[in-house]
Structure 1
Amino acid sequence: MPQAVGEMLEDRFGVNPHPVHLMKPQSAPLSLLAQIGKQIFYDQSLSASGRQSCASCHSPQHSYGPPNALSVQLGGAHGTQQGYRPPPSLAYLYRQANFSIGPDAPDMDVAPPSLTDAAQQAQGVTRAQKNAGVAPAAPAMVPQGGLFWDGRADTLQAQAMGPLFNPVEMANTSEAEVAHKLERGGYLEKLRKLFGPAVKSGSAMLVDEAMSAVSRYQIEDASFHAFDSKYDDWLEGKARLSQAELRGLRLFNDQDKANCAGCHLSQPGRDGLPPLFTDTQYEALGVPRNTQLAQNKDPRFYDMGLCGPYRQDLASQTQYCGMFLTPTLRNVANRQVFFHNGVYHDLKHVMDFYNLRDIAPERIYPRDASGKPQKYNDLPARYAANIDVADAPFDRKFGDKPAMSEQDIDDIIAFLKTLNDGYPQ
């Protein structure tokens, strides 16, 4: 189809002039291991309070994210303690790579460098600006992959393990305690039928196999990666975008305006895999401090993502302080809490942050005693150089015109709603 004709069809009718075939995961009945994992996923008896399961914080009715607008969820032994960070969605993690720094090693027979060595090698390498909405031709020397906001888990099995022992989540104190609960719930016998008597060899083995079942459930169940949004249908030529949604898509991809696609990749890969709307890299955005969090009552405490406090192995790599994982934007319009500290509760405030952070900081940050905005107030000042000021819209300076108008923001939010799963077929 000639380009001019395609653009006319897109402009007038909202159709995709260049439809593609998306390679989506195949749907199949759950394996026996995944069925056991599903039971565990919803089992509240595995928590210290007896009132919290995986699904409590990763609600299937809320795209496997938090079920409410709390900045962080409540947990702990009595279900009354604030969590540390808002739970990210568990959806669309099936393609998440292990945490790494920099490009893949060219020789697969050579052991990869340690994270410390990779971080040292990355120092001094100019970070590529993010734009175009597609993965770069050559991987940049930046942290990428992994699970949790700080990438400290590499597998869904390890991720499922974390909340079991977190004192402000399910709050178990030992593997033996979890193993006892699993045995009491009948999971030992179910797993023994699959893996044999070795499952009974110790608490660690039983807990490992139980969490492997949870990971299989997340991988096999289509609801974790449905790819049935309006945007997916539009990509395949099966749906039309409204004029507002179409304008929002263009702004989303415009590297001089919103530039959302610089981090939240919007185009299918060359292999036809649907876009995940994340580059799985890490960014220091400088979001304002959430004073409602219990941990932030201590003015000396800072959650610095990759360099601590919940991740320890990169604590000395201070060039990464303040960096957090870029989440998927699929189902983002269903969320009620945003960023690693849950400081915002609607997409309009999120967009205002991107639009105004540097040109009108008084509208984003609190003021100090002299009336000056406390810019980047949730990161020690010595790490302010880590914060992205190069990529649009953060490339504006104080007093500049905003990258986006109010109408632009409304249109982008309209587009983001097309990323919700469950578009009527």
Structure 2
Amino acid sequence: MNIKFLTSTLVLISLSGIAFAGTSEAAKNSPFDTDEASLNEKQLIGKRLFEDANLSEPAGVSCASCHEASRAFQGNNGSRVPTVAKGSQDDKFGTRNVPTAAYAMMSPSFHFSKEKNDEGKEEWMALGGQFLDGRAANLREQAEGPFLNPKEMNNASKKTVIDKVRAAGYAPLLKKAYGKHVFDNPDKAMFAVTSAIAAFEKTHAFAPFSSKFDRVLKGKDTFTAEEAKGFELFKDPQKGNCIACHVGDPKSTNPRDWLFTDYSYDNLGLPRNPDIPENANADVFDLGLCNQDGITKKAPKGLDIDALCGAFKVPTLRDIALTPPYGHNGVFKTLRDIVKFYATRDTNPDEWYPRKADGSIDKFNDLPSQYAENVNTKEVPLDRKAGEQPRLNDQEVDAIVAFLNTLTDEK
């Protein structure tokens, strides 16, 4: 959200206690190949759990069904509605785009922090967490959610999940790693299961830092002219200004200082996605952060919770070319679409929003009207008005897309 926030974000990351698993040379050269020889005991258990399609109700859906390694740990479980995932029941679909699990280990736990905005004023900002609304504080908590969500793996209870794990061939590994009585208490057993999944999601395969961009940082490769132009536009505060939210340290050549997110929350006023089944009901809106479970207790005293409505977590841009569709509601099919949306949302709103019966443009149509004022309309390039020139022309949009493609991890 704010380049001034960069320093505190990097401090949070450095203090987060993240440890990368030891990896073989083969694993280092294959970012999405989870080489089991490189995994410790708990990470291997996590991999077994992550890939086990018997843990849904009915069976057939695993964590990997919606977090495919070949798609940078994103996916939709073969959904007939490409923008949202299908659950274990054929008639149940999610309401949000599936976030990538790649680099998710880097996110700090969900919290509020007082930071200076672009005007130099201090304000409370929501930061970190997992899921697009941050409702899970960390990876372990995130791993529990899909097991019990009726639109995902659809288990009735923790006990239902644990009974399936107890019957799995890898159950002895859990007993060895977490104690012979691990299955005696469903709550403790679920904690062990989700801890193991989180351990797997902290391995090298999920954060390989092996993109062309990383090689360029280290002086081992060079950008094409278009990619270099795109990177400059990405950083330019009067053009793309992408780095305001998708942060990196321009003074650093360490890839871990370029996570391409500040873990903040923003309201972009995305167009409504008519492909999401629940959106057939015009009264249904996904309000994101303000609907997070327990948000009123987590928020600082005096913070206006309504001001959080419509805000979603800023995603990392690493591997972004592998993770279509884009936006919290998956409304954008291509990377170019969402970059152009940033540039022309306000100058050419008719390209993105439908018209009302009276002929006027139904701008920010995926929000109730009372929350339209929450939409970010101040930061470049979202500060334009209808009829003005966009901050980026078509060639500049293409250049930024070319740069974003250099963030794809390679074998």
User: TM-score, with normalisation over the residues of structure 1?
Assistant: 0.82
Q: Deviations over 1:80-134 (max 9, x none)?
A: 311121110001122211111124xxxxxxxxxxxxxxxxxxxxx97336xxxxx
Q: Secondary structure at the match of 1:101?
A: strand
2:108 maps to 1:97 = yes
**Structure 2 contact 335–401 (Cα < 8 Å) conserved:** yes
Task: Name the counterpart of 1:51.
Answer: 60
- In the alignment, does 2:372 pair up with 1:384? yes
1:338 match: secondary structure: coil
Separation in 2 of the partners of 1:404 and 1:85?
A: 28
Gapped regions of structure 1 (runs ≥ 5): 1-22, 104-124, 130-135
Post-superposition CA distance 1:376-422 (Å, at most 9, x none): 11111111111111100011112110111110011111000000001
CA distance in 2, matches of 1:240, 1:206: 49
Whole-angstrom CA distance in 2 between matches of 1:312 and 1:148? 15
1:127 aligns with 2:130: no
For residues 163-184 of structure 1, the C-alpha deviation after alignment (integer angstroms, 9 at most, x for no partner) is 0011110010111110110011
Matched, 1:250 2:262: no
Aligned counterparts, 1:165-244, within 5 A: 165-219=148-202, 221-244=203-226
Indicate which of 130, 137, 160 corresponds to 1:154: 137
Measured in 1, the distance between the counterparts of 2:162 and 2:345 equals: 48
Distance in 1 between the 2:164 and 2:176 partners?
A: 18
Match of 1:39 among 22, 29, 48: 48
SS in 1 for 2:237: coil
In 2, Cα distance between equivalents of 1:352 and 1:314: 35
1:64 aligns with 73
Q: C-alpha separation between the residues in 1 aligned to 2:209 and 2:351?
A: 36
Structure 2 counterpart of 1:328: 316
Q: Which residue matches 1:280? A: 263
CA–CA distance in 2 between the matches of 1:241 and 1:377?
A: 39
Tell me the distance in 2 between the aligned counterparts of 1:201 and 1:239: 54
The CA distance in 2 between the partners of 1:259 and 1:195, in whole Å, is: 47
Say if 2:93 is the partner of 1:82: yes
Check 1:171–1:24 CA distance in 2 against 1; reply closer, same or farther (3 A cut).
closer
Q: Partner residue of 1:367? A: 355
CA distance, structure 1, for counterparts of residue 213 and residue 372 of structure 2: 36
**Matched residue, 2:402:** 414
Matched residue SS, 1:142: strand
Q: Partners in 2 of 1:141 and 1:269 — Cα distance?
A: 27
1:200 to partner: Cα distance: 2.8
CA-CA distance at 1:311 after TM superposition = 3.4
- Residue 332 of structure 2 aligns with an amino acid whose one-letter code is Y
Q: CA deviation at 1:195?
A: 2.1
Determine the C-alpha separation between the residues in 2 that align with 1:41 and 1:32.
14
**Cα displacement (A) at 1:313:** 2.6
Q: Counterpart of 1:352?
A: 340
In the alignment, the residues of structure 1 paired with residue 149 and residue 308 of structure 2 have an alpha-carbon distance, to the nearest angstrom, of 24
Identical counterparts, % of pairs: 35
Alpha-carbon distance, 1:25 to partner: 4.4
Contact 2:287 2:310 in 1 (8 A): yes
SS in 2 for 1:350: helix
Shift of 1:269: 7.6
| C-alpha distance after superposition, 1:55-82 (max 9, x if no partner) | 1100001000116781101014x23311
C-alpha distance in structure 2 between counterparts of 1:186 and 1:274, whole Å:
40
- Tell me which stretches of 4 or more aligned residues in structure 1 moved more than 6 Å: 268-271
Root-mean-square deviation (Å) = 2.3
CA contact (8 A) 1:84 1:168 kept: no
Note the C-alpha offset of 1:24. Answer: 9.9
Secondary structure of the residue that 2:290 maps to in structure 1? coil
Q: Deviations over 1:216-238 (max 9, x none)?
A: 0111x211000000000101111
SS in 2 for 1:419: coil
Alpha-carbon distance between aligned partners in 2 of 1:75 and 1:278, rounded to the nearest angstrom? 28
Query: What is the number of equivalent residue pairs in this alignment?
Result: 370
Which residue identity lines up with residue 242 of structure 2 in the other structure? C
Please tell me whether the aligned partners of residues 266 and 276 of structure 1 are also in contact (alpha carbons under 8 angstroms): yes
**Alignment CA distance shift 1:139-1:387 (3 Å):** same
394 and 241 in structure 1: CA distance in 2 versus 1, 3 angstrom threshold: same
User: Any gaps of 5 or more consecutive residues in structure 2?
Assistant: 1-17, 24-37, 298-303
Q: Which residue of 2 aligns with 1:73?
A: 85
| Structure index of larger Rg | 1
| Shift of residue 187, structure 1, vs aligned partner | 4.1
Distance of 1:396 and 1:157 partners within structure 2:
41
User: C-alpha displacement at 1:27, in angstroms?
Assistant: 3.3
